[in-house]
Amino acid sequence: MIMKNSVITSVALFAVAMTLSAQSEKEIKAEIKHVTVFPDRAQIIHESSVSLTPGKTSLKLTGLSPYIDAQSVQVKGVGEFTILSVTQQNNFLQNLEDSPEIKSLRTQIETLQSKVEDEKAAITILKEKEAFLVANRSILVKETTFSLEQLKSVMDLYTTNMEQVTTTTLKKNRLIRDYEKQISALQQQLSDKMGRQQLPSGEITVTVSSEKPVTGKVTFSYVVMNAGWYPSYDIRVEDIKKPVSIVYKANVFQNTGVVWKDVKLSVSNASAYITGDIPFFGTWFIDYFNPAPMMMMRAKSAQKEEAVMMEMQDGGKMNAMPLAAAPPPVEKMIGETTVTFDIAVPYTIPSDGNVQTVEIQQTEAPAVYKYVTLPKLSPTAYLTANITDWAKLSLQSGEATLYFENTFVGKSSLNVNQMSDTLAISLGTDNSIVVKREKRKDFSSTKILGSNKTETYSYLITIRNNKQVPVKMVLRDQIPVSSNSGITVETIELSGGRHNAQTGEINWDLDIKQQETKQVVLTWSVKYPKDKTIIID
């Protein structure tokens, strides 16, 4: 009888122990409440109500993305309990490991993303070099101790370096666009080949302790990779008497393995990198500066201008401008160095790598509209909108779709990485401005006097404003710059234009009334030894 009671007691104690053990670990469900998307990752926030028994309890949140940055995991509790520990891991037991093909795709994407970062860093350095050259040019021009030959050499060096900076920056921007297209294509392949069941399940376990039965709330926060956003713009000008309308859009994408369903969405230009370690200084070395030798060469300014024109002119007028839909309510939070847009309407972002566009800001900015024409290169007028105090708009560099007078005119790039107080936006060509440049044969001649030959060139530039409003026009042309002491270039007639002797560029600022025609005469000469040959046209 004693033996029987002992067995019953042992069974009862074992049952109690099993019950306590079952209560000590609890799997919880916590819906995603808020997602803040950064340029190259995202911060996810879950919330869950919990009921706790006395003692220690392990709360396990499962079904998470396997791309969690472990250093970013944070857990907060509200209630009469204490958080003892937090761990994060991926559960590989219930899911298959990624195939070699998927791993290869991920490696390719990471390699291309690194290349994009490298090119963007190189562009930043080039912009600083450009600013350095511009700052030092004004100092050199004011220097009076230079001989004419020395000044020519210095200006040739400046022109060569500026051309190299401009050309290299243009090439790197093209590379970035090409890399981003490749990344998008690879992410689509990755999405097609990788199902939800192929990924391990991310898990966060938090151990809590309570002295009595309590209810409370637990908030989980972490950063995931394979997500991000980039800006783009719709820039509309209805009339050159009205402000510029700028529609700021966030292009959000994610391939984290988990659908963001009906979440509060924010986009931020900040960095999401989170670490608990205090950074430390490395040794700061200093040494003499030994510049690398540079090759002296003449600048091919006409080719550079043509390249710029090709960038500015991206197709003619085509489709009518679509009607603008009402954007979702958005609250903008501006920090010292960051901007965050909180979108009031819940969004669902599938885990497929596809881009979902969210309109985050509509602004109107007063602008000074000017037309720019370079008739030597192209008989067209380019409309530009010059916006002051543009830094207040919280814009970032990105692709822009241009609309002028309710018509799509092409695409351009909005570049805010500049030091100027005025942001110039190219709005494409305007056929209402007619430009013509023709040679004045009666005023062009070739004469030989002694051992020298003098060639005179004269051009008539005609601009017709067929619009019903007056316009401001910047007319640009050029004359050659001599790089040899035996060649002399002289200006004869500039019609009030401003001549830069170092670059040869001539600028006219013209105010042209509606239905008015204005003409400008450009005449110059070049003298050189008659036994030599130079090529002008």
Which pLDDT band holds residue 390 (cuts at 50, 70, 90)? confident
Q: Indicate if the pLDDT at residue 398 is higher than 90.
A: no
pLDDT at 184: 87
* pLDDT value, residue 463: 96
The pLDDT of residue 98: 54
Average pLDDT of the residues in 185-200 = 71
Q: What is the pLDDT of residue 142?
A: 60
Work out the average pLDDT over 148-157.
68
Residue keyed to tokens 């000469």: 525
Q: Could you tell me the pTM of the whole model?
A: 0.57
Every domain range in the chain assigned CATH 2.60.40: 434-529
The type of residue at 297 is M
Question: What pLDDT was estimated at residue 305?
Answer: 38
Does the pLDDT value for residue 300 go beyond 80? no
Reduced to 3 states (helix: H, G, I; strand: E, B; else coil), residue 152 is helix
- Nearest C-alpha neighbor of 200 from the set 107, 62, 352: 62
Predicted local confidence at residue 99, as pLDDT? 54
pLDDT number for residue 47: 92
Confidence of residue 327 (pLDDT cuts 50, 70, 90): low
pLDDT at 366 over 70: yes
Output the pLDDT for position 333: 67
pLDDT-derived band at 206, boundaries 50, 70, 90: very high
Give the pLDDT of residue 103: 74
Residue 524, both tokens:
């110059």
- Over its C-alpha atoms, the chain yields an Rg (Å, rounded) of 33
Residues 266 and 37 sit within 8 Å (Cβ to Cβ) = yes
**What is the model's pLDDT at position 322?**
42
- pLDDT tens digits for range 13-68: 444 444 444 447 888 888 899 999 999 999 999 999 988 889 998 999 988 888 99
Closest by Cα among 448, 458, 441, 456 to 532 = 448
Q: Is the pLDDT of residue 307 over 60?
A: no
Q: What local confidence, expressed as pLDDT, does residue 150 receive?
A: 63
Helix (H) or strand (E) holding 517: strand 517-529
The pLDDT value recorded for residue 190 is 77
Q: What is the pLDDT of residue 373?
A: 93
48-81 per-residue burial string, b: 16 or more CB within 10 A, e: under 16 = bebebeeebbebebeebbbbbbeebbebebebeb
Token pair 């039965």 is found at: 213
- The neighbouring-strand residues paired with 265 are 35, 343
Which has the minimum average pLDDT: 3-7, 89-93, 532-536? 3-7
Least confident of 188-197, 398-407, 502-511: 188-197
pLDDT of residue 159: 78
Token pair belonging to 263: 């979440």
- The arithmetic mean of pLDDT across residues 377-386, rounded, is 88
Mean pLDDT, residues 342-356? 88
Q: Which of 75-84, 316-325, 507-516 has the lowest mean pLDDT?
A: 316-325
For the stretch 88-131, pLDDT in tens is: 988 876 553 455 667 788 888 889 988 888 888 888 888 888 77
Per-residue confidence at 474, pLDDT binned at 50, 70, 90? very high
Q: 434-529: what fold? A: Immunoglobulin-like (2.60.40)
**Residue 520 in this model has a pLDDT that exceeds 50:** yes
Across the chain, what does the average pLDDT equal? 79
For residue 376, pLDDT beyond 80: yes
Question: What does the longest C-alpha to C-alpha distance in the chain come to?
Answer: 141
pLDDT of residue 499: 94
Closest CA to 371 of 451, 461, 257, 463: 463
Instruction: Yes or no: say if 349 and 360 are a contact pair by the CB < 8 Å rule.
Output: no
Tell which residue, 371, 375, 369, has the closest CA to residue 305.
375
Q: Is 360 a residue whose pLDDT tops 90?
A: no
Residue 501 has pLDDT above 60, yes or no: yes
Q: Does the pLDDT at position 428 exceed 70?
A: yes
Over the range 8-45, which residues count as b (16 or more CB within 10 Å of their CB) and which as e?
eeeeeeeeeeeeeeeeeeeebebebebbbbbbbbbbbb
| pLDDT tens digits, one per residue of 328-346 | 667 766 665 678 888 888 8
CA–CA distances in Å: residue 343 to residues 65, 103, 265, 323, 347? 23, 34, 6, 22, 9
Q: What tens digit of pLDDT does each residue of 241-262 get?
A: 888 888 889 999 998 888 899 9
Which pLDDT score, from 0 to 100, does residue 299 have? Answer: 34
- The residue among 210 and 418 whose pLDDT is bigger is 210
Neighbours of 535 (CB within 10 A): 4
Q: Which residue type does 531 have?
A: D
Q: Comparing 507 with 139, which gets the higher pLDDT? A: 507
